[in-house]
Amino acid sequence: MKKYIYILGIAAVSTFAACKKGDLDRFPQTSISPNLFFNTEDDLNLYVNGLLSQPDRNSYANDQETDNSATTGAVEVKNIMLGTANAQNMTTGWDWSRLRNINYFLENYKKAGVTAAVKNHYAGLARYYRAAFYLDKMKRFSDVPWYSGTLEPSSQELYKGRDSRALIADSIMADLDFAYKNVRETVPVGTPGKWAVATFYARAALYEGTFRKYHDEVNLAATANNFLQTAARVSSEIIASKKYTIYNTGKPEQDYGTLFNSQDLTTNTEVILTNIFDLAKGKGQNVQRAVFGDYEQGPAKDLLQTYLMKDGSRFTSQANYAQMSFVEEFKNRDPRMSQSIVYPGWVSVPDPTAYIQRLNKNFTGYHQLKGYVNSTDNNTINGVDFPVYRYAEVLLTYAESLAELGTLTQTQLDQSVNLLRRRAGLPDLNLAVANGSVDPILQQQYPNVTSNVGVILEIRRERRVEFAFENTRFDDLMRWKAGKLLAKNPEGMYFKGLGKYDMTGDGIDDIILIDRASTIPAEASKEKNSLGVVLVYYRAGTIGSDATVYLKNGNSGGNIVTESTVRTFVEPKYYYRPIPQQQVVLNPNLKQNFGW
């Protein structure tokens, strides 16, 4: 049975912390005097609980911003690459109301009549939230104003310019270091404790370290190693704590998937922080339609081709890998692939027969399985927990930071990446072999990796497949300066041309592709397969036609194509977002971002 913390403070906090959205010059204390509130530990707890904010199952739908998925959604980065975005119409991201609420607490918590340790625990949580707030701002805008307190209406700081990325990053690290040293290890289930803070601390340090290393435009490469060393140190301390282990019961075909379809992750040895869902307790979330089928997104072939074979060899080293059918490309693959993406023979309850992929134009034909709950019970669907932080991330942060520093050893690989490979039943990654035999496709994707190349690229492969559809890919591409990978339009399943195809892996035809100029017969006239089941008909043609499925070469076959618009990723401009023009007008000290 799950244990819960009930966040009763949200309504109370919003009552006395509410003010005009986006302003820093309105005091939360106008609704309640700090002298009447910040007196006891209950007061501190109530306020900080009201600041609780963490990712949820919508994260499973956020890879549509990346090369992991095709999407029909109007996602921001796609609009930017299509040239339709500018500083006038991109108005999001410049909101500071959450920061005001955090800083208000940090200005008043010392009034409480409690021990220093108690004060520092809650201050650590508030500083953790502030660090997360500012990391998001820095990812989006790079240089932003740093505000460490609430401001009066007459304060000139309201009209300050942007502080440097160096100052922002150092301030984030200072907040996280304080939080790591002061937040308690034992906290209510579903809220961040010491090791959750540490995981985010290592994540933030890795982000900034690699960003500085690969982004010469910020002129901070000389200090990149300081952040990479912090990422390595903090992740190593989490490992040394022995508080967490990779969830592995010796069942590689299901252990990984358990992390994403479990009704209770609160006792899972890999999950460091859980976002708890239980409809019976008034908190449910249903993302079925968002992640599955042909509503908004579909996994991209490029992602599928990144997964290794079961024997550890590269799929892209197989003969004719690019022309393999849906059934063929799932054979003998890394088991994480079939626990993330619907595979041939998968059964969707309550139908006892194998599911047949539904094809549609603008979609890849592949369906996402991670985040989907294979049930018809509403309580079950709404009650799946979300793993906010996994120990797998700590291990990959440890390995990547050391690899980027050039100090990674085989022993450290065995303590990190190879624990994930063993869960999947794959052979260990060998440091010497990786560096001696670099994957040419990965090397083409990441040409700016120039030292320790093989193992860094294999760690990047591991991050991509381990965290597919968990909302990490976009940040990874941005910090690695690999934005140009987003300029390629995603593609889907391969079909050699018109004709019949087996989609379930039983050797019996399930669908038929006919010319887009043909008419789909009436039901009674449709062809049946050897089991007497009517084939599913699709009209195939080139993109932009009236076909129901778009193939790259029309009747001659090829991959399913999802769009024909030309994407352009402008460097370094598109690694950043513009300061909303209305803010620049209000405050001339805000200088506009790279090229915007």
Q: pLDDT digits over 423-465, tens only?
A: 999 999 999 999 999 999 999 999 999 999 999 999 999 999 9
pLDDT band at 362 (very low <50, low <70, confident <90, very high): confident
d(CA 510, CA 52): 49
Task: Write the pLDDT tens digit of every residue in 562-587.
Answer: 999 999 999 999 999 999 999 999 99
Q: Omega before 572 cis (within 30°)?
A: yes
CA distances from 502 to 72, 298, 327, 499, 530 (A): 27, 20, 7, 10, 12
What is residue 151's predicted lDDT score, i.e. its pLDDT? Answer: 83
- Asked if the model's pLDDT at residue 214 lies above 80, the reply is yes
Q: Does the pLDDT at position 95 exceed 60?
A: yes
pLDDT band at 32 (very low <50, low <70, confident <90, very high): low
- Side-chain half-sphere CA neighbours of 253 within 13 A: 3
572 CB contacts (<8 Å, ≥6 apart)? 215, 217, 481, 594, 595
- Listed by start position, the domains of the chain span 9-204, 497-556
Tell me the mean pLDDT in the region 139-149: 97
The whole-number average pLDDT for the span 88-113 is 96
List pLDDT tens digits, range 322-336.
999 999 999 999 999
Mean pLDDT, residues 382-393 taken together: 98
pLDDT score of 9 = 33
User: Is 23 a residue whose pLDDT tops 60?
Assistant: no
For residue 150, what are its two tokens? 């609430």
Query: Of 199-208, 290-299, 480-489, which gets the smallest average pLDDT?
Result: 290-299
Specify the fold of 9-204.
1.25.40
Instruction: Provide the pLDDT confidence category of residue 30 given band limits of 50, 70 and 90.
Output: very low
> What are 261's two structure tokens?
């379809």
pLDDT value at residue 35: 77
- The per-residue pLDDT for range 64-83, each reduced to its tens digit, is 999 999 998 889 999 999 99
d(CA 104, CA 129): 13
Q: What rounded mean pLDDT belongs to the chain?
A: 94
Place of tokens 């976009």: 474
